[in-house]
Amino acid sequence: MTQTILCIDMESVLTPELWQAVAKGFWVEELMLTTKDIDDNKKLMEHRLKYLNENDITYSKMQEILSKVDLLPWALDFLNRARDKMQVIILSDTFIQLGKPFVQKLWNPTIFCHDLIVEDDKIVDYKFRIQDQKTQAVKRFKQLNFKTFATWDSFNDTGMIKEADAGCFFQPGKKATDAFPEIDIANDYEELKWYIDRFMEE
């Protein structure tokens, strides 16, 4: 029997956008940008580090803000139902130092993400796992003979959706849908569950 993996993003799919939560917490509009706005992760992170430094936002202050952020409504329920049918791996461009508390709230699924470099309570740099880690992870799962279903929300996620055996956007931005009209869209967890169930029946 072929084993199946659900490869799922974290921010905007299971949790709010973490950097936007920080932006709102400190009233720094420049931190509201996400991969829906800047699809180059390196440029986006350079932008974020600049405004963290300019506004004297420390790592511990960020953690304090994020400790008050909850999962998206029904995210845990959806994930638990998915885990009854397949393995689940979060593939995210978040950073483990920011994402770990939310992974715990999701009952500890495996997460592949990046690292922040923190010195004296300041985020001074970042380290990406590898280039385009999401697409590369999906590709390796397929080489290990897993069936893969992928779901993410933004323009920079199209590589892994196309690499997977099947997949869809989840509440994507207009930039993504305009550029890739051929990719299915789930507007809520029930629609996402329907796409997954259809895939499992194939």
**Residues annotated as part of the active site:** 9, 11
User: What are φ and ψ of residue 138, in 5° steps?
Assistant: -60, -40
Alpha helices in the chain (DSSP H): 18-26, 41-54, 59-66, 75-83, 96-105, 133-143, 158-163, 174-179, 189-201
CA distance 77 to 189: 9
Residue 24: phi and psi, rounded to 5, are -70, -35
Neighbour tally for 63: CB within 10 Å: 14
Closest by Cα among 149, 129, 143, 140 to 198: 149
